[in-house]
Every structure is written in structure tokens, then in C-alpha cells.
Amino acid sequence: MSAGDVVEATDLPSGTAARPLPVVIDTDPGLGEPGSDIDDGLAIALALRSPELDVLGLTIVNGNVDALTGTHVARTLVERLGAPELPVLLGATEPLVRDMAPVRALFDAVFEGDQPATAPVAALRGPTRTEHAADYLVRLAAERPGELVVIAIGPMTNLALAVQRDPAFAANVRELVLMAGSATGYAQNITVVGDFNAYVDPEALDVVLRSGARIRMVGLDQTSKVMLTRDDAAALRRTDDAFSRWAADCTDAWIDFLGRAFPNRVEHRTACFLHDPLVVAAVTHPQLLHWQTAAVQAETESELARGLVVANRGLALEPAGPPNATVAVETGVDDFRRLFLERISAGGAAEPDRESDPHSTSPKE
């Protein structure tokens, strides 16, 4: 295939309730932590409430919160979701080469000296087993060659370590589905060009993109189309599902934070993005998005362009190289929101309306 070729959803890995797809979610969850993004936790909830997926475990990476806190959050989260037996493994506690301090400082500045207290390390719950997350990924992919899908919704450090520790990991895994980049425009996230996951560890993303693994990417150009509003939170609060009611409170707190962090973005006065849940939905229902092949590279040298992910779909004068990823270029917002809210609020499976256009957009977008 050439860069820019259309990829049909039917050609992408997907599961069914009868034959669920085995997945590991590589994540940096902060749901419930003050000033931390909630979308990882909501993505985990969506995955566990999707019959198309067999979630084998969670691997934790440094990102939205430090990896030790993320492990504690994940342990608490899976208990809230009724899956306390799910393996939770600690992975990379820092990027491959970068310093996390400047990234943390960007978020701390939003609190203007009123940084909320965090739990002491001794009070944090640890992983369910001692195996490093990267080793777990390598082992699982080797035990199930051509079967395992990794949904990576944090920085790519654990995946890069897996590739470095065993290059065969790239061939053994069925697919890596990444929340990174912005295939059709600038990210407008941590920086103008850098989304959080790529910005935190661009070297790790570079390793993954060069690995030869089958890669699918959902970027901020798509995830920023899907929103969770205060009205949605109010509706979740009225359900009988305890997790949904708790998530509603976390949603309101996160929207409050975003309003302070991004005062010039009017959408954050009443809503937050559902970045990571869309990546999970891209696996359960790939027809919700339009896909194209691309030659994708991560910028690792320029500080100005740190976190830039270039997805060459053959639209420029410069010829594109061989494609190494499939990227999302359009999203059916209404159908995604319907799917997400039904599954989160019901605590079980619900199908989107098949009569509607799978690539429709929400009027508010």
C-alpha cells in the first residue's frame, strides 16, 4: 500500500462477544486524582464494559501521574469496576531520556501555589505482581503470537522498552493502537504541535514507529471532536451505577481544572475531551472512524517542535515514504457518544444505533 490509501474498517482487527479480542491496556490513569486527566480511567471502564474485548491486564506508565500513583489509581479503579482480579503491572517510571519535571511544572502552575496534597508513597497500593510491564508485554505477545492487541493511551515508554528488550515483540503483537499525534492538523495540547503522550517521551514513540509492528493511531485531531459535558455528568449522576456517579463527580472536577488551564478555549468551560475512550472504541467499533495509511515520524531533536508527530498521507509535494501506520482522519461523533454513554452508564454492553450514519458529526461540533 501507499501513503494515503483508504483502509476499510473490515480490514482492521476487531472482536465480537463470541470471540473477544485479547487486549492489554498500557495506560497512565489519574481518574480520581486532583488535577489529573480522567479519560484514561473512562477508557478502562469502557474496555471492561465492552464484550468485544478480553482485557488481560493493565500496564502502567509514567505520564498523567507518576507510575506509582498510576498503579494505585488502576488498582482502585478496577475494584470500582468489579474486576479486582485484573493484573496491574508497574512499568516505566520515567521517559527514556527526558526529564518529567518541566512537564509537571506546567500542570502545577495551574494551581497557582495551591497544589492539592498527594498520598505518601507508603500509602499507595502496588502492582499485583512484580514482573515489569515491558517484560509482561513481551511474554504475553510471545505466548499468543499474532493475537494480542495493545491499546496504548499513555506515553509510549513501556512499548519502546518492550521493543528494546525483545525486537520480536513487534512481530508477535497483532497490533499496537496508539493515542498519539494529530494526523490532519496541529495537536494544540501541551504545545501547539505536541500532544501529551508524544511530548512526554518522543524518543519512545520514535522507537515504536520504527519497530515494524502493525500500528494504528488515533490522534488529537479526532479525539478533540468528542466531548463529555457537564450535562452528561449530570445524567451519569442520575443512574443506578455507582461507578458512573463517581465518574460524574470526577468529570466536573476535571472540567473545572481545564477551565483554569485553558482559559482561551471556550469548550473547556462546560466540557472535557474523551481522548482515550475514543481509542478503545476504535478497537471495538473501527467503523466509527475513517482510516488512511501514512508514513509517520516523531520529532526528537527540536525543542520547539517537541512532541510533533508527522503523518505523511501523500498530500504534500514531497513524496511520502512507505507507510508504517494507519491513522484516523474522520470520526462519527454522534455514534461514538451514544456508544460511550450507554456502556458507561449501564455497566454493560449496548450497541450504537446501526440505522444512523456511522460517520455523522455532532451538531455542537
Model confidence at 118, pLDDT cuts 50, 70, 90, reads low
Q: What does residue 49 show for φ and ψ, rounded to 5 degrees?
A: -105, 15
Q: What is the torsional sign of CA 77, 79, 80, 83?
A: positive
Q: CB under 8 Å to 134, separation ≥6 — which residues?
A: 59, 91, 92, 158, 159, 161, 162, 165
Q: In this structure, is residue 353 part of a structural domain?
A: no
The answer to whether residues 195 and 187 touch, using CB atoms and an 8 Å cutoff, is yes
Residue among 205, 208, 201, 207 at smallest CA distance from 100: 201
Domain that holds residue 216: 6-346
Give the total number of structural domains in the chain: 1
Buried b (16+ CB within 10 A) or exposed e, 15-35: beeeebbbbbbbbbbbbbbeb
Cell of 100: 518529567
Average pLDDT of 209-232? 97
pLDDT, tens only, 197-209: 999 999 999 999 9
Is position 361 within any domain?
Answer: no
Q: Convert the pLDDT of each residue in 315-350 to its tens digit.
A: 999 989 999 999 999 999 999 999 999 999 875 333
Strand extents, DSSP E, the chain: 6-7, 21-27, 53-60, 88-90, 149-152, 175-179, 215-218, 227-229, 271-273, 289-298, 309-312, 325-331
What pLDDT is attached to residue 160? 98
Q: Of residues 275, 285, 290, 359, which has the active-site annotation? A: 275
Give the three cell numbers for residue 200. 512526554
Residue 46 counted as domain residue: yes
Query: What are the φ/ψ torsions at residue 245 (nearest 5 degrees)?
Result: -65, -40
| Residue 43: pLDDT band with limits 50, 70, 90 | very high
pLDDT of amino acid 106? 80
- pLDDT-above-70 percentage for the chain: 90
d(CA 98, CA 199): 10
Residue 147 included in any domain: yes
> How far is 131 from 89, CA to CA, in rounded Å?
7
Other Cβ atoms within 10 Å of 279 Cβ, number: 29
Q: Tell me, yes or no, whether 77 lies in a domain.
A: yes
Mean of pLDDT over the chain: 90
Q: Among this protein's residues, is 275 annotated catalytic?
A: yes
C-alpha cell recorded at residue 185: 492538523
In this prediction, residue 348 carries a pLDDT of 38
Residue listed under C-alpha cell 482480579: 85
What's 161's domain CATH number?
Answer: 3.90.245.10
Residue 360 resides in a domain: no
Say yes or no to pLDDT of 352 above 50: no
- Residues 182 and 221: beta-carbon distance below 8 Å: yes
Q: Is residue 357 part of a domain?
A: no
- In order, the DSSP letters of 64-92 are SS-HHHHHHHHHHHHHHTT-TTS-EEE--
pLDDT tens-digit map of 238-260: 999 999 999 999 999 989 988 88
3-state secondary structure of 176: strand
In a domain, 364, yes or no: no
Burial of residue 351 (number of CB atoms within 10 Å: 0-12, 13-18, 19+): exposed
Q: How many CB atoms lie within 10 A of CB 258?
A: 20
User: Which residues on neighbouring strands pair with residue 74, listed in sequence order?
Assistant: none
Q: Considering only CA atoms, which of 46, 44, 56, 52 is closest in space to residue 20?
A: 52
Q: Which amino acid is at 265?
A: R
DSSP 145-174: TTT-EEEE-S-SHHHHHHHHH-TTHHHHSS
Cα–Cα distance for residue pair 28/3, rounded to 1 Å: 31
Q: Determine the pLDDT at residue 360.
A: 38
